[in-house]
Amino acid sequence: MNPPQATGGMLELEHFWMPFTDNRRFKRAPRMVASASGMYYTTTEGRQVLDGLATLWCVNAGHCRPKVVEAIRKQAGELDFASAFSLGHPLPFKVAERIAELAPAGMGYVFFTNSGSEAVDTALKMALAYHRLNGQASRTRFIGRERGYHGVNLAGISVGGVPAMRKAYSGALTPGVDHLRHTQDLAKSAFSRGQPALGVELADELEQRVIPLHGAENIAAVIVEPVSGAGGVLVPPRGYLERLREICTRHGILLIFDEVITGFGRLGQPFAAQVFGIQPDLITFAKGVTSGSVPLGGVIVEQGIHAAFMNAPGGGVEFFHGYTYSGHPLACAAAMGALDTYAEEGLLTRARELAKPFEDAVHALKGSPNVIDCRNLGLIGAIEMSPRPGAPGARAFEAFEKCWAKGVFVRPIGDSVAFCPPLIAEKKHLDEMFSVTAEVLRTVA
Ligand code: PXG
């Protein structure tokens, strides 16, 4: 092995294998940030770049907010780490209580993980263990959805439905998984403002095809993102999620909302479940809980499910699951700082005020070259371009690189460009974001 090369002040890029990145392309022309504050990054060359994606759909309170920074600083010097395995420290209890207060009524219990991927695995395992405790051990199957994204662990990619995430691992996927169709239908619903009017019947596939095929008594849970994010920002048709809920309830199947992106104010309420007025059985969260500052994720659990574990006959550990860092002090301190900031600034409902100007801005991109769809809900949105012949994804990636060069960070997903600004955004930030995007789209052939 070669030791790392000293490069005389130049940063050596070779040794960090970057996640979800075209490493070779990046290392030829790196994009590097040095610091961040509020809505903006400062690059290593000293340029300001507007963060139009809350970085990776997570910095909901904006960057380096004082309460978050202070909480982390203080915690690091006070209690760096204490396990939560049969040992307690106050912070995870406090954060769980705060999250329970924000969660839909009846969902008062929180299990901590370090990431969204772990939250998804935790929720799936919880569903299996719950059914077993409930005398229904045959319920072992999971139903996901095409284009769903549930993190990168093996169970998460198994219920997930983004082909590129699954292809290389196809032989090792969790068995017993089926998928509902995704909800995008450009022929009927392109350029819908908010939820598409058509497509509620897509939910009926669960009852008409999936349940008869596998047997309700063999299905543990259905997992969906209320609005799918990494699959390209797909907004559910009106009535669709309600119908999934009705069908799951009718057949004793748990409904898991993966709110890793939609949680913590993205749609104008703390959780999407509240925006849609639907109670899932389990909610997974991550990202926004600390406003991206320290890794933390978890599962919010409906009280009947929690009670099944706590009332299990005999004593002992109720759920054989947990991560070394479940409830890590630093992450919990960061969460307290973020939750305080959200509360003081009304950020968890602020997307309601911004939703209309945001929607108008996204839809003003209709008519830009190659744009075949504009879609939005709350403070999440995307435009989609027709693929360049023979080069799918190339247009969106070019748009992303050009937006970056002009000082705006957005995310390319296939042929879509996604927008998801921090919840502290003001009208002027939206203007900046979308005027740069419009300018760039005019140059993408
Ligand atoms: N569920 C959902 C709905 C997510 O959006 C995860 C689970 C996994 O979370 P962690 O913390 O394990 O990454 C996510 C994460 C993209 C992109 O391409 C999106 C995510 C992660 C990486 C890339 O937009 N979302």
Task: Tell me the pLDDT tens digit for each residue of 205-249.
Answer: 999 999 999 999 999 999 999 999 999 999 999 999 999 999 999
Q: Is 336's C-beta closer than 6 angstroms to any atom of ligand 1?
A: no
Q: What is the pLDDT of residue 10?
A: 82
pLDDT at 2 over 80: no
Q: How confident is the model at residue 1 (pLDDT cuts 50, 70, 90)?
A: very low
Mean of pLDDT values over 22-42: 97
Mean of pLDDT values over 324-341: 98
Place of tokens 């899932």: 280
Q: Is 306's C-beta closer than 6 angstroms to any atom of ligand 1?
A: no
pLDDT at 4 over 50: no
Q: Is 373's C-beta closer than 6 angstroms to any atom of ligand 1?
A: no
Q: How confident is the model at residue 41 (pLDDT cuts 50, 70, 90)?
A: very high
Q: Is 116's C-beta closer than 6 angstroms to any atom of ligand 1?
A: yes
CA-nearest residue, atom 20 of ligand 1: 230
What the block records as the tokens of 382 is 């995307």
Q: What is the pLDDT of residue 101?
A: 98
Q: Is 286's C-beta closer than 6 angstroms to any atom of ligand 1?
A: yes
Mean of pLDDT values over 383-391: 97
pLDDT at 7 over 70: no
Gap from CA of 207 to ligand 1 centroid (Å)? 28
CB atoms within 10 A of CB 221: 26
> Do 88 and 362 contact (CB within 8 A), yes or no?
no
HSE, side-chain direction, 13 A CA sphere, residue 268:
16
Task: Tell me the pLDDT tens digit for each residue of 419-430.
Answer: 999 999 999 999
Gap from CA of 229 to ligand 1 centroid (Å)? 8
Using most ligand atoms within 8 A of CB, pick from 261, 290, 296, 415 the residue to mutate for ligand 1: 261
Among the atoms of ligand 1, which is closest to the Cα of residue 225? 3
Q: Is 151's C-beta closer than 6 angstroms to any atom of ligand 1?
A: yes
State if pTM tops 0.75. yes
Among the atoms of ligand 1, which is closest to the Cα of residue 286? 11
Q: How confident is the model at residue 92 (pLDDT cuts 50, 70, 90)?
A: very high
Percent of the chain with pLDDT over 90: 97
Using most ligand atoms within 8 A of CB, pick from 20, 22, 57, 153 the residue to mutate for ligand 1: 57
Burial of residue 298, with CB atoms counted within 10 A of its CB: 0-12 exposed, 13-18 middle, 19 or more buried: buried
- Max distance between CA atoms of the chain, in angstroms, equals 67
Q: What is the pLDDT of residue 9?
A: 63
- Asked which of 86-90, 116-120, 346-350, 388-392 is least confident by mean pLDDT, the reply is 86-90
CA-nearest residue, atom 16 of ligand 1: 230
Distances (CA, A) of 201 to 178, 193, 207, 209, 361: 18, 19, 11, 12, 30
Task: Tell me the pLDDT tens digit for each residue of 247-278.
Answer: 999 999 999 999 999 999 999 999 999 999 99
Task: Tell me the pLDDT tens digit for each residue of 101-146.
Answer: 999 999 999 999 999 999 999 999 999 999 999 999 999 999 999 9
- On average, the pLDDT of the chain sits at 96
Using most ligand atoms within 8 A of CB, pick from 59, 121, 149 the residue to mutate for ligand 1: 149
Using most ligand atoms within 8 A of CB, pick from 22, 55, 56 the residue to mutate for ligand 1: 56
Q: Is 20's C-beta closer than 6 angstroms to any atom of ligand 1?
A: yes
